[in-house]
Amino acid sequence: MKTRNRLLGRLKDTSGSLQRFSEHTDFGLELKNLWFGVIMGLGVWLVAAIFGLGWIALSGAGTHLFSVYVYAVGILGVVLGGLLAGSRSGGKGWLHGLWVGVLLALCGIIANLELIPQSYSWLGMIRQLILWALWGLLGGYLGQLLKPAKRGKTMGRRG
């Protein structure tokens, strides 16, 4: 009974904690910007993959070339998603980009495991997670750098 009451006492304020996490920047993350970057990255990848499938159907190109194309466009989607999340964030654009890369890598790993589970190894999954996180980090950092120039602000002058 004591364990149950203690557990329920801890879970009592969970919804308030999640709301605080999503609305405030206690951890340096703004979830709306993070999800915007993830959705835009997935959108870029999906639209490009559909165009690629149309290209294969019309021209009869090989599937190896298509897989390279989809991987390259996936990286472009990660960088673009990180850039958009980093440019929209109030601060720590690199952190937003890093998380966009991690989340998109997890989406890609899950999709690959569903499509071709026998051809994916733990090393391949870790490699994709690390590389896409770094691509997202780069996009977020570039978005953070481009944000002041885009809005016409000057870099913090101190007098």
Chain centroid to Cα 51, Å, comes to 22
The answer for residues whose C-beta is within 8 angstroms of residue 42's C-beta and 6 or more apart is 77, 81, 104, 107
Hey, where are the domains in the chain?
28-147
Q: What is the pLDDT of residues 74-106, one digit of tens each?
A: 899 999 999 999 998 877 889 999 999 999 999
**pLDDT tens for each residue of 37-55:** 999 999 998 898 888 888 8
Between 33 and 67, whose confidence is greater? 33
pLDDT at 67 over 60: yes
Distance CA 3, CA 68 (A): 54
Q: What is the pLDDT of residue 4?
A: 66
Q: pLDDT grade, residue 158 (50/70/90)? A: very low
- Tens of pLDDT, residue by residue over 100-152, are 999 999 998 998 888 888 878 889 899 999 999 999 999 999 998 987 655 55
**Residue 33 CA from chain centroid, whole number:** 10
**129 class by beta-carbon count within 10 Å (0-12 exposed, 13-18 middle, 19+ buried):** middle
